[in-house]
Amino acid sequence: MKGNIIKYARDNIDTDVIIPGTYLKIHDYAELATHAMEGLDPDFHSKVKEGDFILSGKNFGCGSSREHAPIALSHSGIKAVLALSFARIFYRNSVDGAFLLPIEIGQDAYDGISEGDEISIDVSTNEIKNITKNQTYKMKPFSELIGKIIAAGGLFKYKPDQD
Amino acid sequence: MGKTLFEKIWESHIVVEKQNNPTLIYIDRHLVHEVTSPQAFDGLRQNNRKVRRPDLTIATMDHNVPTTDRSLPILDQTSSVQIKTLEKNCKDFGIKLFDINSPNQGIVHVIGPQLGITLPGTTIVCGDSHTSTHGAFGALALGIGTSDVEHVLASQTMWLEKPKPFEIRVEGKRKNPHAVTAKDIVLSIIKNIGTSGGTGTVIEYRGEGITDLSMEQRMTICNMSIEAGARAGLIAPDEKTFDYLRNREYTPKNYESLVDSWKDHLKTDSDAKFEKEFILHIDDIAPQVSWGTNPGMTCDVTDSVPSPDEFSNGDPNQKRGAEKALDYMALAPGTLIEDIKIDRVFIGSCTNARLEDLIEASKVIKGQKISPYVKAMVVPGSQMVKKQAEEMGLDKIFIDANFEWREAGCSMCLGMNPDILSPGERCASTSNRNFEGRQGTGGRTHLVSPVMAAAAAIHGHFVDVRKMDLS
């Protein structure tokens, strides 16, 4: 999986800025996507491209349990969020509906990857390649449940006896 | 080795557990509201599924209901649609609903306990992060997203990875328990352990500082567990817990025999091990005021706004976060917290809108008028809280002081209904999140206790309520 980085160099990006509460009444996901990240970056909708990745700091997706947050990012074209750590409800919500991949990274990847860099992610080897800068980093493996839900293609496809 | 309270509840709810696999956990109570459920019900319909246990599922509307006159139509069409959709879904799937005109309507985390639906030792889920509130009764209560809401509706179970038990001991006694409240205790905890200090854990709050608290105060503590990143917060049930739930509308008929079994079982064994520990001494803690844009950015009312340099710690993001927060909040480092002027006061939310919260705030207000520069409102947590407060004459105290007295709902906590801040407005709020734009685009939120919010309404700026006579 390949994409370009949109970097937010800060911790604690909460689901209220990912999709502000006033838009939780919207049921059309394409319309919801037009408001993604509006609370933090009003230019997000105009700059995001299909297949982009977000890179951010610690505790990404904290706060409200709204699944609208990964849905809004996913329908904006975001395929993965790379962060130093994730709040757990967001981490789970991201994969339940196969919306996007929540990738936990180390400080080396966080520091090494810049806005606009082209990145490839290989979850089978837990490897992240920075094509722009010709660097390689390790991602943290998915937690047990998250990895299994991703492999199944979403919560409703997951069966324990597949293992 | 002994077991923690969390481990006991977890183990008694395992449906499927296999080596190297997640655990399927049985859910005893599922609380549903209008915002995170519509897609879940759509999913059931698309797959021809029923709600497996409608008798264990309870719904209400709280997030976007208007808090003004309920006899009038709802002007916001999208809110109206969401509210009507929940009515239809509950009817179609046979779920008990406390609708907008029900005397039991209110914030889902306020009505669960007051109706006796929340019980010790149970597992509770809701598509809302503040489900952790119910942990005050010794229930394992988890906030979940909409896919998991659908999964629980369909199966009454949920796949989970086992969180780690985290002990937070609250030691000592507050010198002035009317001025230094449960809100100040939990804000102090988050200030110390940080907004991700509890990630991947279930916190059990223990110690004299917790057992001294009333049930409503314990709910304020557990409510904000999620603001420390924890999956849930728990307090072992005791006589106060059992008394609170006795003779409620939905208290089980065999309640006394349940109490007997809970007494023996629902406590952490003396030789149990926690994976993480934190101790807070509360003898000398001050009322807390948040200055930034997450609940960990909090200080004493007697402090001044910190400088971002204090947060460098070798981590540039912490300093940058503080700089951005101060910029958003339009605050200069060194400004005394007591010198910060406010435009709005919101007493409400699942954190602090129960009867005791309103009683305590009314003591500050009684016989006074709010500052002419401040707009203030009280939004009771439920219609039942509102009725009880009115029977005590609290509504009159607030209205005489020029507060607005509203109908129950989440209201200005999250800005989904017309109760929002205008850009640049500064609010003393008893809610749980001071995130950017949470109470309305450009709105600036300071998290405080109900007495601190009430005092700020009177004076037009923050004041140390320890100087007041609140007995």
Number of Cβ pairs closer than 8 Å across A and B? 145
Which residues 234-263 of chain B have a CB within 8 Å of chain A? none
Contacts of A107 in chain B (CB under 8 A): none
Q: What is the pLDDT of residue A161?
A: 61
Please give the Cα distance from B399 to B53 (Å, whole number).
Answer: 43
Minimal Cβ distance to A12: which of B143, B146, B195 = B195
**Residue B407 near residue B66 (C-beta atoms within 8 A):** yes
Shortest Cα distance, chain B CAs vs residue A86, angstroms: 9
Residues in chain A with pLDDT values less than 70: 161-163
Structure tokens at B413: 């906590």
Please give the Cα distance from A37 to A52 (Å, whole number).
Answer: 14
* Extended beta strands in B312-466, E state: 344-347, 375-378, 404-405, 426-429, 444-447
Please give the Cα distance from A32 to A99 (Å, whole number).
Answer: 14
Which residues 148-167 of chain B have a CB within 8 Å of chain A? 148, 150-151, 159-161
Cα nearest neighbour of A107 on chain B: B315
Minimal Cβ distance to B144: which of A12, A24, A65 = A65
Q: Which domains, from first to last, does chain A contain?
A: 2-162 (3.20.19.10)
pLDDT (tens, 9 = 90+) of chain B, 471 residues, equals 899 999 999 999 999 998 778 899 999 999 999 999 999 999 999 999 999 999 999 999 999 999 999 999 899 999 999 999 999 999 999 999 999 999 999 999 999 999 999 999 999 999 999 999 999 999 999 999 999 999 999 999 999 999 999 999 999 999 999 999 999 999 999 999 999 999 999 999 999 999 999 999 999 999 999 999 999 999 999 999 999 999 999 999 999 999 999 998 999 999 999 999 999 999 999 999 999 999 999 999 999 999 999 987 778 889 999 999 999 999 999 999 999 999 999 999 999 999 999 999 999 999 999 999 999 999 999 999 999 999 999 999 999 999 999 999 999 999 999 999 999 999 999 999 999 999 999 999 999 999 999 999 999 999 999 999 887
Model-level pTM? 0.97
C-beta neighbour count of A29 within 10 angstroms: 15
Shortest Cα distance, chain B CAs vs residue A44, angstroms: 16
Identify the residue whose tokens are 């507050």.
B174
Contacts of A22 in chain B (CB under 8 A): 415-416, 420
Q: Calculate the alpha carbon distances from A154 to A148, A158, B26, B433, B457 in Å.
A: 9, 6, 20, 30, 49
Q: Do A160 and B16 touch (CB under 8 A)?
A: yes
Contacts of A154 in chain B (CB under 8 A): 147
Cα nearest neighbour of B127 on chain A: A65
Please give the Cα distance from B192 to B184 (Å, whole number).
Answer: 12
Contacts of B420 in chain A (CB under 8 A): 22
Q: What is the pLDDT of residue B470?
A: 87
Q: Do B199 and A87 touch (CB under 8 A)?
A: yes
Q: Which long-range contacts (CB under 8 A, 24 or more apart) does B297-303 make?
A: B297/B191, B297/B322, B297/B325, B297/B434, B298/B187, B298/B188, B298/B190, B298/B191, B298/B447, B299/B191, B299/B337, B300/B337, B301/B337, B301/B338, B301/B452, B301/B462, B301/B463, B301/B464, B301/B465, B302/B337, B302/B338, B302/B464, B303/B336, B303/B337
Which residues 19-48 of chain B have a CB within 8 Å of chain A? 20-22, 24, 35-36, 38-39, 43, 47
The residue among A10, A64, A111 with the most chain B CBs within 10 A of its CB, best to mutate, is A64
